[in-house]
Structure 1
Amino acid sequence: MSESILSISDNSEVILHFDLKLSDGSAVDSTRVNKKPAKMVMGDGSLTKNFEDCLRGLGAGDKKTFEISANEAFGMPNPDNIYHIDRSKFAADTELSDGMIMGFSQPDGSELPGIIRAVAGQSVTVDFNHPLAGQDVIFDVEIIEVR
Protein backbone atom coordinates (compact mmCIF):
# COMPACT_ATOMS: atom_id res chain seq x y z
CA MET A 1 0.00 0.00 0.00
CA SER A 2 1.56 3.27 -1.04
CA GLU A 3 1.48 6.32 1.18
CA SER A 4 -0.40 9.20 -0.38
CA ILE A 5 1.48 12.45 -0.75
CA LEU A 6 0.06 15.28 1.32
CA SER A 7 -0.60 18.48 -0.54
CA ILE A 8 -0.30 21.91 1.04
CA SER A 9 -3.52 23.31 2.49
CA ASP A 10 -4.62 25.45 5.47
CA ASN A 11 -2.47 24.83 8.57
CA SER A 12 -0.03 22.54 6.72
CA GLU A 13 3.49 22.58 8.10
CA VAL A 14 5.80 23.06 5.13
CA ILE A 15 9.55 22.70 4.78
CA LEU A 16 10.75 24.29 1.57
CA HIS A 17 13.60 25.90 -0.26
CA PHE A 18 12.80 29.16 -1.99
CA ASP A 19 14.49 31.78 -4.10
CA LEU A 20 13.00 35.24 -4.38
CA LYS A 21 14.23 37.32 -7.32
CA LEU A 22 13.27 40.55 -8.98
CA SER A 23 11.91 40.32 -12.51
CA ASP A 24 15.37 41.26 -13.85
CA GLY A 25 16.76 38.10 -12.20
CA SER A 26 18.64 39.80 -9.36
CA ALA A 27 18.51 37.80 -6.12
CA VAL A 28 16.58 39.15 -3.15
CA ASP A 29 16.45 36.21 -0.74
CA SER A 30 17.21 32.51 -0.84
CA THR A 31 17.22 29.63 1.61
CA ARG A 32 19.82 27.93 -0.58
CA VAL A 33 22.55 30.43 0.37
CA ASN A 34 22.90 28.80 3.80
CA LYS A 35 21.64 25.43 2.54
CA LYS A 36 18.95 25.57 5.21
CA PRO A 37 15.32 25.19 4.09
CA ALA A 38 12.58 27.35 5.61
CA LYS A 39 9.94 25.87 7.87
CA MET A 40 6.53 27.51 8.11
CA VAL A 41 2.91 26.79 8.87
CA MET A 42 0.32 27.96 6.37
CA GLY A 43 -1.53 30.92 7.86
CA ASP A 44 1.12 31.76 10.49
CA GLY A 45 2.01 35.07 8.84
CA SER A 46 5.43 33.94 7.56
CA LEU A 47 4.22 34.55 4.01
CA THR A 48 1.54 36.86 2.66
CA LYS A 49 -1.72 35.28 1.51
CA ASN A 50 -0.71 35.67 -2.14
CA PHE A 51 2.57 33.79 -1.59
CA GLU A 52 0.73 31.10 0.40
CA ASP A 53 -1.80 30.74 -2.43
CA CYS A 54 1.10 29.82 -4.74
CA LEU A 55 1.98 26.90 -2.47
CA ARG A 56 -1.52 25.42 -2.09
CA GLY A 57 -1.86 22.02 -3.69
CA LEU A 58 1.89 21.42 -4.02
CA GLY A 59 3.44 18.35 -2.37
CA ALA A 60 6.85 17.06 -1.36
CA GLY A 61 9.23 17.00 -4.32
CA ASP A 62 7.35 19.63 -6.31
CA LYS A 63 9.36 22.49 -7.83
CA LYS A 64 7.58 25.47 -9.27
CA THR A 65 8.24 29.05 -10.35
CA PHE A 66 5.70 31.82 -9.88
CA GLU A 67 5.83 35.31 -11.31
CA ILE A 68 4.02 37.62 -8.92
CA SER A 69 3.06 41.18 -9.81
CA ALA A 70 3.97 44.04 -7.48
CA ASN A 71 0.34 44.42 -6.38
CA GLU A 72 0.14 40.75 -5.46
CA ALA A 73 3.62 40.54 -3.88
CA PHE A 74 4.41 43.47 -1.58
CA GLY A 75 2.00 46.09 -2.91
CA MET A 76 2.70 49.46 -4.43
CA PRO A 77 4.58 52.19 -2.55
CA ASN A 78 2.30 54.41 -0.47
CA PRO A 79 3.38 58.08 -0.38
CA ASP A 80 1.90 58.30 3.15
CA ASN A 81 4.68 55.95 4.32
CA ILE A 82 7.42 58.46 3.43
CA TYR A 83 8.44 60.79 6.24
CA HIS A 84 10.73 63.79 6.53
CA ILE A 85 12.47 63.54 9.89
CA ASP A 86 14.63 66.24 11.46
CA ARG A 87 18.30 65.24 11.58
CA SER A 88 18.36 66.05 15.31
CA LYS A 89 16.14 62.97 15.94
CA PHE A 90 19.11 60.76 15.00
CA ALA A 91 22.15 60.25 17.21
CA ALA A 92 24.85 62.78 16.25
CA ASP A 93 27.30 60.02 15.37
CA THR A 94 24.83 58.13 13.16
CA GLU A 95 26.09 58.11 9.60
CA LEU A 96 23.15 58.38 7.21
CA SER A 97 23.39 57.55 3.52
CA ASP A 98 20.90 57.03 0.69
CA GLY A 99 19.65 53.45 0.48
CA MET A 100 20.64 52.59 4.04
CA ILE A 101 18.07 50.52 5.96
CA MET A 102 17.74 51.12 9.69
CA GLY A 103 15.31 50.17 12.44
CA PHE A 104 13.01 52.73 14.03
CA SER A 105 11.47 52.02 17.45
CA GLN A 106 7.69 52.06 17.58
CA PRO A 107 5.60 53.14 20.60
CA ASP A 108 4.73 49.46 21.27
CA GLY A 109 8.44 48.56 21.47
CA SER A 110 8.60 46.83 18.08
CA GLU A 111 11.00 47.95 15.39
CA LEU A 112 10.03 49.06 11.90
CA PRO A 113 12.62 49.11 9.11
CA GLY A 114 12.94 52.35 7.17
CA ILE A 115 15.02 53.14 4.08
CA ILE A 116 16.94 56.41 4.04
CA ARG A 117 16.02 57.95 0.68
CA ALA A 118 17.69 61.36 1.01
CA VAL A 119 19.63 63.53 3.44
CA ALA A 120 19.37 67.25 2.70
CA GLY A 121 20.63 69.63 5.36
CA GLN A 122 18.61 68.92 8.51
CA SER A 123 15.93 66.89 6.70
CA VAL A 124 16.16 63.11 6.39
CA THR A 125 13.67 61.42 4.07
CA VAL A 126 12.74 57.95 5.36
CA ASP A 127 10.65 55.46 3.40
CA PHE A 128 8.69 52.96 5.53
CA ASN A 129 7.24 51.10 2.53
CA HIS A 130 8.33 47.48 2.18
CA PRO A 131 11.72 47.51 0.38
CA LEU A 132 10.17 45.44 -2.44
CA ALA A 133 6.99 47.55 -2.79
CA GLY A 134 6.37 48.26 -6.45
CA GLN A 135 8.53 45.34 -7.62
CA ASP A 136 7.36 42.34 -9.62
CA VAL A 137 9.02 39.22 -8.20
CA ILE A 138 9.83 35.64 -9.18
CA PHE A 139 9.18 33.07 -6.45
CA ASP A 140 10.95 29.72 -7.04
CA VAL A 141 9.97 26.99 -4.61
CA GLU A 142 11.00 23.42 -3.95
CA ILE A 143 8.79 21.62 -1.45
CA ILE A 144 10.82 19.31 0.80
CA GLU A 145 8.13 18.07 3.18
CA VAL A 146 4.46 18.63 4.00
CA ARG A 147 2.97 17.58 7.34
Structure 2
Amino acid sequence: MTAITQDSTVTLHFTIKMKDGSVADSTHNMGKPAKLVIGDGSLSDNFEQCLLGLSAGESKEIELAAADAFGMPNPDNIHHMDRAKFVGDADVEVGIIMAFSGPDGMEIPGIITEIAGDSVTVDFNHPLAGQDVTFAVEILSVE
Protein backbone atom coordinates (compact mmCIF):
# COMPACT_ATOMS: atom_id res chain seq x y z
CA MET A 1 0.00 0.00 0.00
CA THR A 2 1.20 3.48 -0.78
CA ALA A 3 1.34 5.74 2.26
CA ILE A 4 0.76 9.48 2.06
CA THR A 5 3.97 11.51 1.77
CA GLN A 6 4.85 15.04 0.66
CA ASP A 7 3.54 15.62 -2.91
CA SER A 8 1.18 12.61 -2.81
CA THR A 9 -2.10 13.05 -4.67
CA VAL A 10 -4.77 12.00 -2.20
CA THR A 11 -8.44 11.30 -2.85
CA LEU A 12 -10.44 11.34 0.37
CA HIS A 13 -13.81 11.81 1.92
CA PHE A 14 -13.95 14.18 4.87
CA THR A 15 -16.52 15.34 7.35
CA ILE A 16 -15.96 18.49 9.41
CA LYS A 17 -17.60 18.32 12.83
CA MET A 18 -18.07 21.16 15.29
CA LYS A 19 -17.39 20.88 19.02
CA ASP A 20 -21.07 20.09 19.63
CA GLY A 21 -20.90 17.17 17.19
CA SER A 22 -22.90 18.88 14.43
CA VAL A 23 -21.61 18.44 10.88
CA ALA A 24 -20.43 21.67 9.23
CA ASP A 25 -19.38 20.19 5.90
CA SER A 26 -18.95 16.78 4.33
CA THR A 27 -17.86 15.47 0.94
CA HIS A 28 -20.45 12.70 1.42
CA ASN A 29 -23.16 15.39 1.10
CA MET A 30 -21.61 16.58 -2.16
CA GLY A 31 -21.60 13.04 -3.51
CA LYS A 32 -17.96 13.08 -4.52
CA PRO A 33 -14.66 12.91 -2.68
CA ALA A 34 -12.06 15.67 -2.49
CA LYS A 35 -8.74 15.36 -4.30
CA LEU A 36 -5.65 17.28 -3.28
CA VAL A 37 -1.88 17.26 -3.41
CA ILE A 38 -0.01 17.25 -0.09
CA GLY A 39 2.05 20.44 0.05
CA ASP A 40 0.00 22.47 -2.45
CA GLY A 41 -1.21 24.82 0.28
CA SER A 42 -4.86 23.78 0.24
CA LEU A 43 -4.52 22.38 3.77
CA SER A 44 -2.78 23.78 6.83
CA ASP A 45 0.66 22.28 7.55
CA ASN A 46 -0.59 20.87 10.81
CA PHE A 47 -3.50 19.10 9.09
CA GLU A 48 -1.17 17.69 6.41
CA GLN A 49 1.17 16.35 9.10
CA CYS A 50 -1.76 14.35 10.49
CA LEU A 51 -2.43 12.74 7.09
CA LEU A 52 1.17 11.66 6.42
CA GLY A 53 1.60 7.92 6.67
CA LEU A 54 -2.06 7.04 6.11
CA SER A 55 -2.91 4.64 3.27
CA ALA A 56 -5.99 3.96 1.15
CA GLY A 57 -8.77 2.39 3.18
CA GLU A 58 -7.70 4.05 6.44
CA SER A 59 -9.86 6.46 8.43
CA LYS A 60 -8.80 8.91 11.10
CA GLU A 61 -10.36 11.64 13.25
CA ILE A 62 -8.16 14.72 13.52
CA GLU A 63 -8.93 17.42 16.07
CA LEU A 64 -7.75 20.82 14.93
CA ALA A 65 -7.59 24.01 16.93
CA ALA A 66 -9.05 27.03 15.12
CA ALA A 67 -5.61 28.37 14.15
CA ASP A 68 -4.76 25.11 12.36
CA ALA A 69 -8.16 24.67 10.74
CA PHE A 70 -9.60 27.84 9.16
CA GLY A 71 -7.59 30.42 11.05
CA MET A 72 -8.77 33.13 13.37
CA PRO A 73 -11.23 35.80 12.24
CA ASN A 74 -9.50 38.83 10.75
CA PRO A 75 -11.14 42.16 11.61
CA ASP A 76 -9.98 43.49 8.19
CA ASN A 77 -12.38 41.02 6.57
CA ILE A 78 -15.43 42.72 8.08
CA HIS A 79 -16.91 45.39 5.82
CA HIS A 80 -19.72 47.91 6.21
CA MET A 81 -21.70 48.40 3.01
CA ASP A 82 -24.43 50.78 1.99
CA ARG A 83 -27.82 49.08 2.00
CA ALA A 84 -28.51 50.71 -1.38
CA LYS A 85 -25.99 48.29 -2.93
CA PHE A 86 -28.42 45.47 -2.16
CA VAL A 87 -31.26 46.90 -4.26
CA GLY A 88 -33.74 44.28 -5.37
CA ASP A 89 -32.38 41.80 -2.86
CA ALA A 90 -35.26 41.34 -0.48
CA ASP A 91 -33.35 38.67 1.43
CA VAL A 92 -30.95 41.04 3.13
CA GLU A 93 -31.14 39.74 6.67
CA VAL A 94 -28.72 38.79 9.41
CA GLY A 95 -27.31 35.29 8.98
CA ILE A 96 -27.70 35.17 5.19
CA ILE A 97 -24.57 34.18 3.23
CA MET A 98 -24.26 36.05 -0.07
CA ALA A 99 -21.70 35.94 -2.86
CA PHE A 100 -19.81 39.15 -3.58
CA SER A 101 -17.34 39.93 -6.34
CA GLY A 102 -13.81 40.16 -5.03
CA PRO A 103 -11.14 42.52 -6.39
CA ASP A 104 -9.88 39.75 -8.71
CA GLY A 105 -13.37 39.03 -10.06
CA MET A 106 -13.64 35.82 -8.03
CA GLU A 107 -16.80 35.37 -6.00
CA ILE A 108 -16.29 35.44 -2.26
CA PRO A 109 -18.93 34.47 0.25
CA GLY A 110 -19.80 36.93 2.99
CA ILE A 111 -22.21 36.50 5.87
CA ILE A 112 -24.43 39.40 6.89
CA THR A 113 -23.83 39.92 10.61
CA GLU A 114 -25.64 43.19 11.28
CA ILE A 115 -28.04 45.63 9.65
CA ALA A 116 -28.26 49.12 11.16
CA GLY A 117 -30.27 51.66 9.20
CA ASP A 118 -28.55 52.00 5.82
CA SER A 119 -25.43 50.12 6.89
CA VAL A 120 -25.06 46.40 6.28
CA THR A 121 -22.16 44.65 8.01
CA VAL A 122 -20.69 41.77 6.00
CA ASP A 123 -18.13 39.33 7.41
CA PHE A 124 -15.87 37.78 4.77
CA ASN A 125 -14.01 35.55 7.23
CA HIS A 126 -14.44 31.81 6.64
CA PRO A 127 -17.66 30.78 8.42
CA LEU A 128 -15.59 28.34 10.50
CA ALA A 129 -12.84 30.84 11.38
CA GLY A 130 -12.19 30.85 15.10
CA GLN A 131 -13.78 27.42 15.59
CA ASP A 132 -12.06 24.28 16.84
CA VAL A 133 -13.15 21.43 14.56
CA THR A 134 -12.71 17.70 14.09
CA PHE A 135 -11.97 16.37 10.61
CA ALA A 136 -13.02 12.76 10.07
CA VAL A 137 -11.09 11.60 7.01
CA GLU A 138 -11.45 8.45 4.97
CA ILE A 139 -8.56 7.89 2.54
CA LEU A 140 -9.76 6.45 -0.77
CA SER A 141 -6.59 6.48 -2.84
CA VAL A 142 -2.98 7.65 -2.72
CA GLU A 143 -0.93 8.26 -5.88
Structure 2 length normalisation: TM-score?
A: 0.90
Match of 1:72 among 65, 68, 75: 68
1:130 partner amino acid: H
* Residues 1:91 and 1:51: Cα distance change in structure 2 (over 3 Å): farther
1:1-147 equivalences in 2 (<5 Å): 5-147=1-143
C-alpha distance in 2, partners of 1:125/1:23? 27
Q: Which has the larger radius of gyration?
A: 1
* Residues 1:130 and 1:34: Cα distance change in structure 2 (over 3 Å): closer
4+ runs of 1 displaced by more than 3 Å? none
Q: Percent identity between the aligned chains?
A: 60
- What is the number of equivalent residue pairs in this alignment? 143
C-alpha distance in 2, partners of 1:51/1:100? 29
2:14 partner amino acid: F
What stretches of structure 2 of length at least 5 have no aligned partner? none
| Contact 2:7/2:37, CA 8 A, preserved across alignment | yes
Q: State the superposition RMSD in angstroms.
A: 1.6
